[in-house]
Structures are given as structure tokens and as C-alpha cells.
A and B are shown apart, each in its own frame.
Chain A
Amino acid sequence: MLERSVLERVIAQALGYGADFVELFLEDRFSTSMKMVNGVLENSSSGRIRGIGIRGFFEDRAIYAYTNDLDEENLLQSATRVGEALRATPTQPGELTLTQDSQGKPHAFFQVFTTVHKKDKVALLRLTTEAAQGYSSAISQVVSTYMDQDQKVWIANSEGLYTEDRRLRTRLTVNAVASDGSQKETGFESDGGSAGFEFYNGVDTKALGEEAARMAVRMLRADFAPAGRMPVVISNGFGGVIFHEACGHPLEATSVAIGASVYSNMIGKRVANECVSAVDDGSIPNAWGSGRIDDEGNLTRRNLLIEKGILKSYLVDRFNGRKMGVEANGCGRRQDYTYAPTSRMSNTVILPGEYIPEEIIAATDHGLYAKKMGGGSVMPTTGEFNFSVREGYMIEKGRVTRPVRGATLIGKGHEILHKIDMVANDLERARGMCGSLSGSIPADVGQPTLRVTDIVVGGRNQ
């Protein structure tokens, strides 16, 4: 893409202004997205982005510039702007030689998206849409989307690192609306991975459509959830969004480094009940949030965050790691070259426990069973979170009974972790898009079925 010698000169340019670290992130990406509405392919769009991000550090200051004019002269100008903005003392940089780094295994892909005819991608949408429409006559609308992207990145820095990665990702989503004339309810399902088009050989696309439809129809016949504080059993898979939002985000060095997180200065301390262990692992082969390296060129790895309730590690990117005096641990990520990287989750899960899911339900006299979670958000500074329950049921006398809709769970993440008292053995991961400081990135959430002794459920007053 760009000669290594050009990258060396650009890095040297910023170093000359006194930067004590310089990093280049070059990206060339081709993406396709499609949308089918009620069985009609309404939109197909594709395109290419290509640009470079130049980042310089001086002590605890970080400057970022990006451009998509890759002319060497323009790159040197951008490097100059970065260097000047650092306000360091200009120096005469030493010799810089970039050396290729290729540790770790790339995530395998076989069928590159541009070799697949667009009609074959449309066919996937058709299968899943028809499955949803065919599930019930109450299904009034179905929207399904397909996306794929082939991202090539080259990362170089003033420590001599030169590395590259190619990440193929694809995702299929389906949103079904059920209607009884006056009310509408929606159901959602998706699957995706870091792989080529061969990913769909292992996906039951019809089942995705049926599942979304089932959820919508089921919720149409549901009462409104009751409001109040009660035990909540959260099902596996996307239920992990609770940990992602309430605990994962506050463990990112972005807020830890400036002391703004509820988990600042808590390493080695008890932050959760003993039955809770959690990891973030960007190295899981072909998982949705995986990559060989992160967007700072470090190898992705399995980071143990919480072990039996004790806080073991944060998610640390290079810049915040510098402020905290710890090494980055392979989680510096960004949406694309227009964002500076920061500490982000990749595939984050609560590890399995000893119960079977049915035992947990049976042990609960009265409460809410959150079978499918929707999204949510959290304030890292106060730990306050909220998230919506897409598909909920009441638990009465140890049994799952009537469906309920419109429930929201709110609370404080650091409090809720102590209230998880039963963890099952059915760990599952689910796909999501995670939005934060460095943009929107693919991330898996996950957990086994677990119980929280009490959470405030927002619903309607009877």
C-alpha cells in the first residue's frame, strides 16, 4: 500500500518535533450492506474507504490526525501538525527501521466477499425473511440486513513495529414485527463472525428468521411487566450485555486511568460474588469481536478480568497504559482510521458455573426471567446502567409462567455483581455492536444463565 520507507519518514517527521512515541494506522476497507424490507431488496450499497491515522505522544498528551490523501507530502504535513501540537522540545531522531512482526495466527477465511455474487447475498436475506414471514400470520413486517467488510490494516510505530492484519467480517440480522391491529411488538435475531462468506455454511439462516418472529408474536400476547424490585434470572447468550455494559465499560482504561471509574484502584479487591469470573478474549478463532492483532498492533489475547469475584485486570490500551504505568494488553480498538484507538472490549463473557439452568429457575420463588435482552448503556463514573428486556417471563413458584413485555432493568453495575448468586453451565456468546469513544465496533457479549438476587425492574404499574 505505502512503501515502508515512506512510513519511516512520516514517523521520523513527528519524532523530530519531540514526540516520544509515534504510530501510524493505515486502513483500506471494502464493505457491502444490504437491506430487505418485507421481502423486497430495497437497498444495496458498497464502497471503499482508505486513510491513515497518525498518532503522537509526548508524556501524557496524545495528538491524533487522519487524512485520506496518501501523498507523501501531505502525510509529512500531517505528521508536522501532530508534532507541533505536542509542544515538545524538537530533537534529532535516531535511525528508525521498521521490522515486520507476524506473531500469532491470523483468523482463517476462505471465501473473500468480492468473489461472491451479490445475488447470493440477497438469497440469504430472502431465506431468513421468508422464514420469519411464514412463522405466523401475525407477522406484519420483516426487515433483514446483510453486511460484509474486508478490512486490511497496516500498523507501524516508532518502536520499529511493522505489522498487518486482514479482517473479514460478516453479519446477518432480522427484525420481525408482529401486529394484532392495534399493538405492535418486535423480535430480533442475528448472527455474525470474523470469517469469509463460508461463515454461512454453518448458519441456519431460516432459524434466525423464525426466532425473531417467535419473539415478536410471543411478546404481542404478553402483559406489561410489573414494576418493582425482584430477583431476575438472565438467560445465556445476549444476556451478557449486562456484564458488558455494567462492568466491562468501567474496566476500560479510558475511564480507569483518570480515576473516573468505579473500579479505579480496585485490583486484587473483591468486586463480585465468588461465583463470578469473567474474561475478555479477542483471540477466539473467527469470533465476531476477534482479530489477530488489535488496532495498535499488539497481539490479541485472553485477559482474565475477574477471578472468583476478585478484580484481576483492566482492559488497557497504549496511551492509558502509559498513564497507569502498565503494559497494554491487546485491546486498543477503533471503528476505522478516523478514530484514535482506545481500550475496548472484544469478546467478553462471564465464565460458566456449576448449576444447570433449570435448577436456577426452580430455586426462584418469584421473579423475572429475562430470556432475551435488548441493548443498554452505562455511566462508567457512577456505574449506573439500564437495559431493556426484549423477551421476558414471570417466574412463579419455581416455574417460568406468563410472558411479560416492556421491562427495563436499572441499577449500579458494581452493586449488581455482588448480587449474582447462581451461575449456570450453559455459556453462550452473542453478537453486538459496541459504541464508545473510538466509534462503533463489533463485539461479542456472553454469559451462562445466572440469577441476580434483586434488581429494579421498570415496567408499568398495574
Chain B
Amino acid sequence: MNYHEFRTKVFEHATQAGLQQFELFAMDSDEFEVMVHGGKVNQYKDAQSMGASLKVIRDGKTGFSYTEVFDASQAEFLVKDALENLQVNESTDIESLYEGPAEYENVSPYANEFQQLDASEKIEQALRMEKAALAQDPRIQMVPFCVYTHFSSRTYIDDSTGRQLFFHSGGGLGYIQALAQSGEKKKDGFHYWMGKNPSGLNPEELGKVAAQKAIQSLEAHSVGSGKYRVILQNEVFASFLTLFVSMLSAESVQKGFSLLQGKLGQQVLSPVLTIDDDPFFPGSMFNCPFDSQAVPTRKKSIVERGTLKTFLHSLKTAQKDGVSPTGNGFRSGYRGTESIHPVNLVVRGGEFDPEGLQQQLGDGLLITDTQGMHSGADPVSGKFSVGASGFRVKDGKILHPVEQITIAGNLLELLSSVEHVGTDGKFGFVFSYGLHAPSVLLPQLDVAGDAD
């Protein structure tokens, strides 16, 4: 049976089970990916899938069950299984369906911009990326990864209040890794582009920059341990901010997992930092008019000149704190549970371009890459100790590339010490939500290395 027939069946079973509040959240997704190697297509993926998740609410408690099978027996099972999950739920938080104003911003949906290109054009773009990297320098030994991919999702929310919502989101991504070799020494360089419209992808630029990054770091060596003035380049700062995002979730705050607990209205970050959640950020593929709970999204200031203005809320956490939901209750898909995150976390740009920021740095380190953020950083304690690489800077000039160091500290201390903010905002390599961040200058960071 098709999805509409399935939905009708599920709603019938839910009503028969005596349920008054329920919601079906469905996603119909497609993805395309081409990976090239050695001037040829190596791997290629072209796929489509659809699934739905039922949420049932009774006495303020919820239960979830999802399926990719749309038939009569599964419709019946879905209701029964969701009810079983509801029955073991012990949460005292009150869950409900959204009943506030249904005024949604007019967000331009994804219009299949990538699908309109022929597969051969996309293959051609990927091949050009690889070619540009190889042509950049004879020391570029190979391109281990060169990928052109796009994806889109059609989200449907239907619930027992009669609400029917639909939105189509999507975008694409090109990324390339180039490997440079000189003697025994190997270094790689990585570069990417993401966006809603394929016209923004410049294959030559992607390949060239990845190759340059690899070449530039060939002569890298470590530095001595100590405290350094540091610039975290935009992509690196973005990856640190993923930790901050988990602290902003009102769910983490309410459960005692966030260092920001009790800090609303206080100066928690450096006064040079202003951070918004902007669901309508120009060019972002993450823009959307409502969250996964049908709450309208809205632009809001999270941190204003260092002062914490709001946490991010779902319906449940807002109810508990006695505030309005903020439109941040999301689901990564029908298989996933609800989580709270921004639509586009945007750090407002500062006054220095990359060169100016380097002048401000004077002597120190420019960190261009980190490794192990998922294991070396703890969002609960804020502590991090991660591998890093970049450049040694002296008198505002690059001295030599740096590898095999670690940087360590505490995220909130790091964020409260930011001295200057760059103008070079960029979307970080993050896919659950948008994270647009510039480079920042820190007066001091612990660095471990093994050079004298």
C-alpha cells in the first residue's frame, strides 16, 4: 500500500487503541554519490528510501516506533509497539503535540537543483576535481578520495490534530583529499564545498586547494610543549562549537549534563562573541520552516557579546522550563530519537581578515586541523585534548608547518578567552545542522609536542 493508505490505517489503529494524541513523521530520501580515482569512476551510489515513525502520547508520556515496511499488518504492529514503548517510559516530563500558532516562514525549498544535472555532468565535475589536484604539483602522489554527492529529504508530519506539513530540503557536497609525498614524508590535504546549488561548486578550486594544503604541510615538524597564542581556523573553530551546541540543549541543561546550567543571562563567553541560530541563513541547505515537532523555527540570539541569552528547546523542555518552544526539537530521521540542536548556528564575523588576524597573533600557532574531536573532547566536562596540525607563526608570518602536536583545555575557558574574531565565516564539515564560524584568536592554549 502507498504511504497515504498506510497513514490512514495507522491512524485508525491508534484511534481504536483509545489514543487521542499521535503523530506520524515520515521522510522520503534520496542520495547520489560518485567517487573517482585515477581518472575513472571508482564507486557510484544512487538510492532512495522511505520510512515513517509513529509517536503516541498518553498522560504526557510518549512512545515511538518506526518502519520502512508499509503494509496493513505493519500498521497495526506500529501502534502496538509504540504503545509498549510508552508503557515502559518513566519520564515525568510532560510531552504534547504543538498547539501554538501555525505561522511558518516562507523558506524556499530544495528544488532538485542537483537532480537536474545529468549523472555524466557530476562525474565530469568529480574527475575535474581530481585532475586539478594532480596537476597542481608533481609531489601530489595521488588523490585517495574525491567525491561528488547530493541528497534530499521530503519530510511529512501528520498528526491527530489534523495538521499536515511538508518540506523538501537538500543539498550537495564535493570533497577531496590529496596526498603529497616528498622522500619518506607523506602529508594529506582536505578541502570541501557544500551548498544548495551546484553552481557554487568549483571543481578546479577544490582540487587545487586540497593539493596546496598537502604540499604546504610537507615540511611539517612538531614544536616544543608550552603555552602558545593560537588562531583556530574557521573549520577548526566550527568543530569545537559542536561541543558548545550540546551544552546549549535545554535537555542537557535540565538533566545536569551541561556546564551552562544556571548561567542564563550571565557573561559566559568572550564579549567579542555573538552567536545566533538562524534558520533562514542565506545559501544554507539546512534552512527549514519548522522543526520535527511542527514548531515554527525562528531566528534568535543565543549569545550576545558573550552573554548567554537562551537555551535551545523542544516542546518538552520548554514546557518544563515554562518558556515558549524555540523550534529546535529535531530528529535526524525516522529511525532516530528526538534531539535538540540549532538550524544554523552562526557566529557573527569580527573585524580581521585572515591576514589581519595573523598580524594580531604575532608569535604563535595557526591551527588548521584537529584529529579525534569525537574521542578527545567531552561535552559534559568541556575538557578536550586532541591532535592538531597547522603552522608556526612568527612576527605575523608563517614560519613552518606543524604536525604531531596536541592541544588541550576546557571549551568554556577557550570560548571566554577569545581575543579577536575573523571575517572568514564558513560552514564547518558538520551535517546534522549548519555551523557557520569564522577563525578566532586565543591568547593562550596548552600545546604538547616533542620538539626542543
Contacts and interface: CB of A to CB of B under 8 A. Distances in A.
Q: Which of B51, B88, B374 has the most CB of A within 10 A?
A: B88
A411 B387 CA distance: 9
A417 to B, nearest CB: 16
A376 B177 CA distance: 20
A62 B42 contact: yes
B225 A461 contact: yes
A14 to B, nearest CB: 13
Interface in B10-48: 37-38, 40-48
Interface string A74-118: 000000011001000000000000000000000000000000001
B376 A381 contact: no
Name A's interface SS.
strand
A426 interface: no
Interface residues of A, number: 78
B448 interface: yes
Interface string B45-56: 111111101000
Interface in B393-449: 403-408, 446, 448-449
Contact of B63 (A44, A66, A119, A381): A44
B311 to A, nearest CB: 17
B406 A410 contact: yes
Interface in A61-80: 61-69
Nearest to B141: A259
A48 B74 contact: yes
Contacts of B37: 258
Contact of A388 (B48, B376, B450): B376
B38 A258 contact: yes
Contact of A410 (B53, B81, B177, B387): B387
Interface in B216-243: 222, 225-227
B68 A48 contact: yes
A406 B385 contact: yes
Nearest to B448: A227
Interface stretch (A3-11, A181-189, A199-207, A288-296): A181-189
A61 B44 contact: yes
Interface stretch (A17-25, A278-286, A359-367, A452-460): A452-460
Interface in B317-376: 334-335, 337, 371-372, 374-376
B375 A456 contact: no
Interface in A201-227: 224, 227
Interface in B79-116: 81, 84-85, 87-92
Nearest to B45: A64
A73 to B, nearest CB: 14
Contacts of B91: 40-43
Interface of B: 37-38, 40-51, 53, 63-69, 74, 81, 84-85, 87-92, 119, 142, 144, 177, 179, 186-188, 222, 225-227, 255-257, 259, 334-335, 337, 371-372, 374-376, 378, 380-381, 383, 385-387, 403-408, 446, 448-450
Given A47-B64, A382-B186, A384-B387, 10 more contacts: A34-B88, A47-B65, A47-B335, A61-B41, A67-B48, A68-B49, A177-B257, A384-B371, A385-B387, A412-B404
Interface of A: 33-35, 37-38, 40-51, 60-69, 81-82, 85, 118-119, 122, 140-141, 177, 183-186, 224, 227-229, 255, 258-260, 262, 319, 338, 340, 374-377, 379-382, 384-388, 405-408, 410-412, 456-461
